[in-house]
Amino acid sequence: MVNHLRWAKLGKDGVTALLVLNNLAKRLPGDPQRWLFRNASLHLAPADFVAVMGESGVGKSTLLHIIAGLDRPDAGHMTFKGQSLDTLDDDARTLLRRRYMGFVFQAFHLIPQLTVEENIALPWRLNGLPRRDMNRRVKTLVERLGIGSHLNAWPRELSGGEMQRVAVARAVVHRPSLILADEPTGSLDAESAETVLSLLREVGEAEAAAIVLVTHSATAADWAQRRLRFDAQGFHPL
């Protein structure tokens, strides 16, 4: 037990881990006799930027959901900021996710009843961060992402690429420690994709936030410091 905790807190180079996945496994949702993936082990330090590639359906989104506490593994262990996630209940996971994580969902998941500005500001408000700094933070992000003229629009009025950039702004607005981005450039042209990736990298550097970027794009993956392939046997260096 002591050894496990020591390993969880310190990487091989002695850097304190932000996130440690230790042999995570998940059964196939529709066929629990079979494994979707096994042996998923990963060590992320603050400011790490990792790209995860892999065939469609291997479980990359499922893995991100597990890291965020939106799904549970069927085996294995996880620690975040040195704390074991294995025994946390759903409320505690929600609090941890809200404060320390930012998630860019593949399907965006913007809230249709909120404007663009309200969607982006939501994590800021939910965390009770100082209101006086909120508008400036949102404005900086939307201008950087080229969606500044849509602040008062409803999500249904946006193109797919605009929705995706709103989702990116919402994922980073509260300066999370860990950004989980599921295909965050999938709906974007090359120039917008570059804007999004440079913003993610900049936020990562400024806040020492770690980034897990799931992508099918080799160009997008090139922005990361480390590239990994994910399959039914876990992670492999690319």
**One of 40, 51, 53, 59 touching ligand ATP (CB under 6 A):** 59
Which range binds ligand ATP by CB under 6 A, 17-25, 60-68, 115-123, 130-138? 60-68
Q: CA separation (Å) from 38 to 69, 72, 147, 230, 238?
A: 18, 13, 40, 10, 18
Identify which of residues 6 and 34 has a Cβ nearer to ligand ATP in the complex: 34
Structure tokens at 188: 């974007």
Q: CA separation (Å) from 147 to 67, 143, 161, 195, 211?
A: 29, 6, 10, 12, 22
**Does 56 interact with ligand ATP (rule: CB under 6 A)?**
yes
Identify which of residues 4 and 236 has a Cβ nearer to ligand ATP in the complex: 236
**Does 66 interact with ligand ATP (rule: CB under 6 A)?**
no
**Does 58 interact with ligand ATP (rule: CB under 6 A)?**
yes
Binding mask 20-39 for ligand ATP (x = CB under 6 A): ---------xx-----x---
Q: Over 136-199, what HEC string results?
A: HHHHHHHHHHCCHHHCCCCHHHCCHHHHHHHHHHHHHCCCCCEEEEECCCCCCCHHHHHHHHHH
Residues in region 115-144 near ligand ATP by CB under 6 A:
none
Which range binds ligand ATP by CB under 6 A, 51-59, 111-119, 162-170, 172-180? 51-59
Half-sphere exposure of 221 (CA within 13 A, CB side): 15
Q: Binding residues for ligand ATP, how many (CB under 6 A)?
A: 12
Q: Are 175 and 133 in contact (CB under 8 A)?
A: no
- Taking the complex as a whole, the smallest distance from the CB of residue 184 to ligand ATP amounts, in Å, to 12
**One of 44, 49, 51, 62 touching ligand ATP (CB under 6 A):** 62
Q: In what order do the strands lie in the sheet with 31-44?
A: 31-44, 19-28, 75-80, 83-84
- Taking the complex as a whole, the smallest distance from the CB of residue 50 to ligand ATP amounts, in Å, to 15
Identify which of residues 60 and 144 has a Cβ nearer to ligand ATP in the complex: 60
Identify which of residues 65 and 150 has a Cβ nearer to ligand ATP in the complex: 65
Burial call 130-166: b when 16+ CB within 10 Å, e when fewer: eeeebeebbeebbebbebeebbeebbeebeebbbbbb
Residues in region 83-112 near ligand ATP by CB under 6 A:
106
Q: Kindly list the residues in this chain that would bind ligand ATP in the complex (CB under 6 A).
A: 29-30, 36, 54, 56-62, 106
